[in-house]
Each structure stands twice: as structure tokens, then as C-alpha cells.
Amino acid sequence: MVLKTVQTDQAPAAIGPYVQAIVAGPLRFVSGQLGLNPQTGELAGSDLASQARQALQNLKQIVVAAGCALDEVAAVDVFLTDMSKFTEFNRIYEEFFTGHRPARAVVEVSALPKGALVEVKCVAYAGS
């Protein structure tokens, strides 16, 4: 199997030695997305809501660039720096995953790159 990389200017460029996503057969592995504005590379805001919306928008743009839609996302991993924001994050998450509910894990971490409050990654399946 040949692995292919995914790159779109509709989401921030990788800030380290990784790619936005990898295509492996019908699977799309999307790297963790922070709430970075794709044009500036800066956080979309200092609050969870603005960062979460931007992170999920970045994720969506990469999923689309990889040839899928959000309703083909099989699993999502979420990293929060403050688990007390879990309910707030869920409200924003539901704006993106309206009818489709992927498998998901949410964990609290002590810190994220660039001082971000949230990071989101996923695996999508384009086999249908």
C-alpha cells in the first residue's frame, strides 16, 4: 500500500515534523488540529469556544481535502486542557457532527502546543 499525504491551505500548515493527514487505502488519518487560523497561524481566540470551532473547522477542511465528509469520520480524539470545559466543548462539537456520531475519546492534558486549550484529531473511512 502506498501512503499519500494530504495538504490543504484551508487549514493551518503543520507546525512540526508531520503532515495534515495521511491516506492509507480507504482510511484517512487526520493529525491533531489546534484552533489556529489558517491565514495567520495564530490561535483564533483566547477562549475555548473560538479555539474549538476553529479546530473543528480545520479538521473538517482536511477531511474534505482527503476525499471524505464529516459523516464518514469513524473516530475522534479530543484533548482538553481543562475537563471542566467538557460540556461547552460538546455543544460546539454538535454544531459539526449533527446527525452522525463517531466513536470518541476526550482526555484532559496538562498542556498543548502554542498554549492551545483544545486539540482534535480523527480517522475517516472513504470506503463506502
CATH number at residue 61: 3.30.1330.40
The confidence score (pLDDT) of residue 128 equals 64
Tell me, what's the pLDDT at 127? 80
In the block, residue with C-alpha cell 474549538 = 52
Tens-binned pLDDT, residue by residue, of the chain (128 aa): 799 999 999 999 998 999 999 999 999 999 999 999 999 999 999 999 999 999 999 999 999 999 999 999 999 999 999 999 999 999 999 999 998 999 999 999 999 999 999 999 999 999 86
8 Å CB contact between 98 and 69 = no
Q: What is the pTM of this model?
A: 0.96
What single-letter DSSP state applies at residue 90?
A: H
Structurally, the chain folds into a number of domains equal to 1
Which pLDDT does position 33 carry in this prediction? 98
Range of the domain at 64: 4-125
Edge-to-edge order in the sheet of strand 21-24: 4-6, 21-24, 27-33, 118-125, 73-80, 103-108
**3-class secondary structure, 31:** strand
